[in-house]
Amino acid sequence: MTAWAVERSVGPAADHHRRPLPDPVERAVWARAVDRPALVLGSTQPDGLVDAAAVAAAGVDLVRRHSGGGAVLLHPGGQLWLDVLVPAGDDLWRDDVGAAFHWLGETWAGALAELGVDAQVHHGPMERSAWSGLICYAGRGPGEVFVDGAKVVGIAQRRTRAGARFQCAALLEPWDPAPVLDFLDLDPEDRRRGAVELTAAARGLGLPAGAVLDAFLLHLPE
C-alpha cells in the first residue's frame, strides 16, 4: 500500500504550471486554487491563437502548460484543479499513454457517484471535433468524464522517465464557452458559431470544490 501525499495551495496558475515534475516522482495530489483568472494554453498551441490585447485588457494571466490539449479559462471558484502524480513502475502506471488515463477517470466517476452524480468515463481513443484543437472541453479524451454526454472533467498528461503528471480540471460552475472564445484570435462569425456549437460540450457539476476534492481523495486507489 502506497500513501498519497496531498498538497493544497492557492495562487496564480503560472506559478503552478512552472513547477517541475520532481525526480524521483512519488504518488501525490496537488490541489491548486487559482487566485485570479488565467487563460491556459496547451503545450502545442501557437501563441498566435490568442487575442493578446483582449487578454491584457481583461487583466487575465496568459499561461502555457506542459501537457497537451486545448485552451482553458481558469477563474477562482470555477473549477477544481488537481494534478495527480504517479511514478514510473507504480501499480497504476501504464506504458500505453491512452490506457494510462483510465484508472484516473474511474476514480473521478466513483467520487462523483458518491456525490449523487451519474458519470461515465470515456475509454475509447481521442475523439476530435471541429473545436477540440482550440478549446479544452470540445473533444473526448481517454479517461475524461462525462454526464449525459457533456464533459465535466478534462484530463491532460505529461510524462517523463520518472513518472506522469495528470492535470485534471473538474467544472464546478455552469459552462459558458463564450468567455474563452472571446480571448482567441477568431473572426466574429467563428466566435458566434463556437458559442452555439460548444454550448452542449460541457457542463458544471454545481458542487462545492471541497466536497468534490474530499470525495476524490477517498476514492484514490491504494
CATH class of 5-218: alpha beta
Q: What pLDDT score was predicted for residue 67? A: 85
Task: State the number of CA atoms in the 13 A half-sphere of 65 facing the CB.
Answer: 28
Count other C-beta atoms under 10 Å from residue 8's C-beta. Answer: 11
Averaged over successive runs of 10 residues, the pLDDT of the chain (222 residues) comes to 89 92 96 96 91 95 89 95 97 96 98 98 93 91 97 94 96 96 95 95 97 98 92
What residue ranges do the domains of the chain occupy? 5-218
Which set of grid coordinates corresponds to residue 179?
468567455
pTM value? 0.94
Count other C-beta atoms under 10 Å from residue 29's C-beta. Answer: 19
